[in-house]
Structure 1
């Protein structure tokens, strides 16, 4: 030990190393779980499957997460946070330009975090219940608010609310289909989805004056 340098006590030295190790290990377990939950229904994935995929023991998984449900929720939360962090940036410009930019970031997530996206949306809302459903619905609510802000809408009418929710469902379905087949150019798919938004607004404008005014601003 160098002269004049105080010795570190075990109490001072260990906590930082322990926290780093815990975070890293939890991250490895969550990443392994996401890959499994993204490819199979949650009920078909066991703690043993996760432990084997992560190169860990069954006891270690239980030590960090207590059980499969807690691990499943942690995996979903991590994927949700990552997706929302990509979508929350505003780039300015015309409403449709902002929508197109948000779609690019959305599909960046689809392509770069395939397991996270699939874990969030695979199976659809009918297969979600409890806290898992709340996490997925929370992503949808925040996406809805983002689109509402991009379209400069303060309070959507019932017709516009339904229109935006229909479009969000189309985007989710398109992401899952693209992951499965990848037989459509991604940039073309994104442009098509923007065009679908306009088409939905055209149809809805016949039933709602607010949507008609919005459509005039979009095109």
Structure 2
């Protein structure tokens, strides 16, 4: 059942990415970016809220919004919006978990996903700073924030790990959107290398603290 849920989440992310690509190809990336510029700050706020909400409520796919930010806003603006959204949302998740405990977390993530938070909270990530940073760089970072909040990990230990993970993991995904949708082969090449690097990190994290697909 949990494996099917993981597959469903992956399919939903892929569908959102495909829909964005088809939309850009139909209307043209230049035209869409021009319309986004006409919207001014509202476009930035819209993407910010989408990403922010997808982290606080982990059942919603968030990777597609990073790609969307790169495609619509370009790399510099897109990266800034996604990084700020991640920093604020992950911090909020940590403090909500720390302040209100498992009960509120279960309401936010849902009964289907609370087991993921419980599994991660039992991994004792606070004992290994680099392992915690590595977990925050993976696709289940939103669950990690809630899980770490349920432990005794102090904010001063969590914050540096969060900042490092955001600085390392976000650029490749946003650049992927910018390069893929704008036809920038050089940016796309670096983005793919970055995504490959993140995949390696995920593999190392799972080997260090085995987290099977049935757990996550």
Q: How does the TM-score come out when normalised to structure 1?
A: 0.38
Name the larger-Rg structure.
1
Larger relative contact order (C-alpha < 8 A, sep ≥ 6)? 2
Q: How does the TM-score come out when normalised to structure 2?
A: 0.38
